[in-house]
Amino acid sequence: MGILKLSLIIILSPVIFSCAKLQYVIEQGQGQLAIFYDAKSNQELLADGKIASKYKDKIKYIEELRKYFYQYFNEKSSDIYTKTTLLERDAVSYLVIASLFDKIEAKEACFWFVGCFPYLGFFSKDRALDYAKELAEQNYVTWVRPVYAYSSLGYFDDPILSSFFAYDDFDLTEMIFHELFHSIFFIKDEVELNENLANFFGRELALAYFKFDSAASRAGKLAELAAEDRLKEEILAYAQRLIKLYQVQRPSKQEESEAILKEFLIGDFYPQVKKICTEFAVSETACFPLRGEWNNARFAAFLTYEKEQNRIYDLYKKSNKSLIEFYKELKQKKERGENLFL
């Protein structure tokens, strides 16, 4: 799930930006404001006879999730998700992640006040593609992906977006809890940690909340999640192997790097992914690592979102605490400025 963290404070402080950054901030500010301007209260949409019932059901469901989330963590509720914006596009924005041709390391974009991020987000797909092209001309490998949900981390009362409605119930539940977690827990300049914590709490709370029809359906969901986790672990391991390959072979030209990557993907990565999906009876169409192209930028993006997952889960298990107790412990450490893993 990507974060687009833009505040009006940035827009009102143009003197601190280069021309390119100023243009970017203004464009994203305009896109953010358009989302707010088009938002309507949930009650208004629920009373509107022109709105499809399937959309109304999703809005009511998200309202239930929101209430459950804040009550569970005993945190003060904001007005987040009390309005809805019906978009005229499938994705709300597009992330551009870039890495040099001989590294698996996301290029950072830094802004005063809000810190640095290993990507840039764009409300316009064309602008995202233009930016990716600019980076490619500077010897960066890029990956552009659609974003269906994001959080402004408490800077704004985010509306529900119609792009949420593409998710099934479990994935929607996990995603909403992920984004809401950003609104109650955020550490500046720690994008990887923030995303991994939101992933962890989003998943665990979704499992606690979700009502399974039977023991068989719960077992099926757990098996599905186990397959997903196994694939993620494998990708993380392969990302580290690719990093070492570049360090050992030291390609001096992009063509050399592309050859290393191609051999790595075709000879090792894809066959292993297919093997795991076969073991878990996951079809190739549902096997997410086989969808789309993998390159340095996509591996770098994956590290951003998944790198600390096992570490957080291990800490949770060792704590022998409930999920809410574990959250309170992390919150106390954060308030004291302590390392969360000590």
Domain end call among 178, 194, 209:
209
Quick check: is 322 in a domain?
Answer: no
Asked whether residue 283 is assigned to any structural domain, the reply reads yes
Q: Are residues 35 and 122 in the same domain?
A: yes
Residues 28, 117: one domain? yes
Which DSSP string corresponds to 109-125? EEETTTEEESSEEES-H
Q: Has residue 29 been placed in a domain?
A: yes
Q: What's the pLDDT at 155?
A: 73
pLDDT band per the 50, 70, 90 thresholds, residue 8: very low
Is the Cβ–Cβ distance between 235 and 302 less than 8 Å?
Answer: yes
Q: Do 55 and 203 belong together in one domain?
A: yes
Six-digit token string for 326: 């574990």
Q: Give the separation between CA 46 and CA 28, rounded to whole angstroms.
A: 29
Residue type, 251: P
Residues 193 and 85 in one domain: yes
SS3 168: coil
Q: Is residue 151 part of a domain?
A: yes
Quick one: which of 161, 198, 166 has its CA closest to 69?
A: 198
Quick one: DSSP state of residue 320? T
Based on the structure, what is the number of domains in the chain?
2
Same structural domain, 50 and 18:
yes
Is 301 a domain residue?
yes
Judge whether 118 and 302 are in contact, CB under 8 Å: no
Confidence of residue 30 (pLDDT cuts 50, 70, 90): confident
| Rounded distance between C-alpha atoms, residue 33 and residue 260, angstroms | 44
Residue 115, pLDDT above cutoff 80: no
58-92, pLDDT tens digit by residue?
999 999 999 999 999 999 988 899 999 999 998 99
Q: Mark which of 167, 192, 209 sits at the end of a domain.
A: 209
170-to-1, 39, 86, 176, 309 alpha-carbon distances in Å: 15, 25, 21, 10, 19
User: Quick check: is 58 in a domain?
Assistant: yes
183 and 302 both lie in a single domain: no
Distance CA 246, CA 269 (A): 15
**Spatial separation of the C-alpha atoms in residues 160 and 280, rounded to whole Å:** 34
Please indicate, yes or no, whether residues 245 and 203 belong to a single structural domain of this protein. Answer: no
Range of the domain at 248: 215-312
pLDDT for 218 equals: 82
Asked whether 173 and 210 are in contact (CB, 8 A), the reply is yes
Domain boundary among 176, 209, 242: 209
Going by the DSSP 8-state scheme, the letter that residue 106 receives in this structure is: B
Predicted pLDDT at 202: 95
**Could you give the CA distance from residue 309 to residue 178 in angstroms, rounded to a whole number?**
14
Whether residues 13 and 134 fall in one domain = yes
Asked whether residue 181 is assigned to any structural domain, the reply reads: yes
Instruction: Check residues 303 and 3 and name the one with the higher pLDDT.
Output: 303
pLDDT category at 284 given cuts 50, 70, 90 is confident
pLDDT in tens, 130-157: 999 999 999 999 999 999 988 777 677 8
Tell me: do 177 and 270 sit in the same domain.
no
- Looking up tokens 């993998």 gives 294
Asked whether 130 and 54 are in contact (CB, 8 A), the reply is no
- Are residues 96 and 104 in contact, defined by beta-carbon separation less than 8 angstroms? no
Query: Both 25 and 142 in a single domain?
Result: yes
In a domain, 55, yes or no: yes
Same domain? For 198 and 244 the reply is no
Same domain, 149 and 242: no
